[in-house]
Structure 1
Amino acid sequence: MSAAASDAPEAGAVLIEPAARADLPAIVAILARETLLGVRDSADPADFADYARAFDEIAADPRATLYVARLDGRVVGTFQLVFFRALLRHGMLLAHAEAVQVDPEVRGRGVGAAMMEFAIAEARRRGAGSLQLASNKQRLDAHRFYERAGFEKRLDGFKIDLAGP
């Protein structure tokens, strides 16, 4: 079923929607372009099976959704929302945004802002008491962006990499 012309997003409008399997090459290409912390992801077709398995597992998890941001029909951003229950705060539902990335070619055009507005609204809609995300300490531009989007820098996080290089 196709959308009526009046339902189509206007040119230059950012559309946020759940990712489809067909979006996976574009998502991986965006992830692979982030090299501030070294090369961690790869758009090499030989590595695609790893991403396809992960996509299928995420898609099967009712607590997680992988989203894409489209600008004029093209995938230009991605993020994942994960919901989980904690005993903290009387068993509150919490939301976590992961792998927030915007294609460097379109940064500054409102894509990231649209993604975060959507994530906040979706977390509220699903009843989460908070939405959190982690950002590497070296990503200072991203930190300024998140603060403009309404996030507070409150936590010090710790991480141990358990996978090899």
Structure 2
Amino acid sequence: MVVELPDFLIRQARKDDLPALVAIFAADAVGGHGDTTDPEAIQDYLGAFAVIEASPDQTLYVAECGGEVVGTFQTMVTTSLTGRGSSGMIIEAVQTRADRRGQGIGAAMIEFAIAEAKGRGVRLVQLTSNALRKDAHRFYERLGFKPSHLGFKMALK
């Protein structure tokens, strides 16, 4: 898909993108991750950003349009003994700013991640989506993803 937006690009996130990214996550009513724009929480985000930035197998991206952050996603490459020792890419935290949805930004981010995965020679790309996000499920299926597993979580904090 070609996104026809002025000055659209996808790039690696920088530390100065954090306020915009946190605002996108905090505006998500469905996620329930406890994200907040409260200035007291910035150290938590800075710590997480440092971990991601230091990892050779994790990358945090932003979609930028006209100099504004309008979306984000993160990729993680994992290697497992299953699949004869193959690697896979996990796409996480896919978010498009609410006022920019429906413009092809989300599809462009996913296509970018898939191209990155192919470039790294991984066997498969996978992602999870909150069970309540029916529109997102249809979106991922339109992009070629197939529902295949049932996920489980256990909150520890």
TM range (shorter): over 0.9
The aligned amino acid for 2:156 is: L
The aligned amino acid for 2:58 is: A
The aligned amino acid for 1:135 is: S
- Structure 1 length-normalised TM: 0.89
How far apart, in 2, do the equivalents of 1:124 and 1:11 lie?
25
Secondary structure at the residue paired with 1:156?
A: coil
* Structure 2 residue aligned with 1:93: 87
Most deviating of 111-120 and 148-157: 148-157
Larger radius of gyration: 1
Whether 2:130 is the aligned partner of 1:136: answer yes
- Deviation at residue 161 of structure 1 after TM alignment: 1.1
Relative contact order, higher structure (CA 8 A, sep 6+): 2
Secondary structure at the residue paired with 1:151?
A: coil
Whether 2:32 is the aligned partner of 1:54: answer no
How far apart, in 1, do the equivalents of 2:31 and 2:68 lie?
26
Secondary structure at the residue paired with 1:83?
A: strand
* Two-structure CA RMSD over aligned residues (Å): 1.5
How far apart, in 1, do the equivalents of 2:50 and 2:32 lie?
26
Q: Which runs of 4+ in 1 moved over 2 A?
A: 10-14
* Structure 1 residue aligned with 2:66: 72
Contact 2:77 2:90 in 1 (8 A): yes
How far apart, in 2, do the equivalents of 1:100 and 1:136 lie?
11
The aligned amino acid for 1:116 is: I
Query: Aligned ranges for residues 77-156 of structure 1 at < 5 Å?
Result: 77-156=71-150
The aligned amino acid for 2:16 is: A
Report how many residues are paired.
Answer: 155
- Structure 2 length-normalised TM: 0.94
Deviation per CA, 1:88-137: give whole Å up to 9, x if none.
11000110011111100000011101100001100110111001000011
1:28 maps to which of 22, 29, 32: 22
Secondary structure at the residue paired with 2:28?
A: coil
Contact 1:14 1:114 in 2 (8 A): no
Secondary structure at the residue paired with 1:51?
A: helix
How far apart, in 1, do the equivalents of 2:31 and 2:94 lie?
15
How far apart, in 1, do the equivalents of 2:31 and 2:91 lie?
19
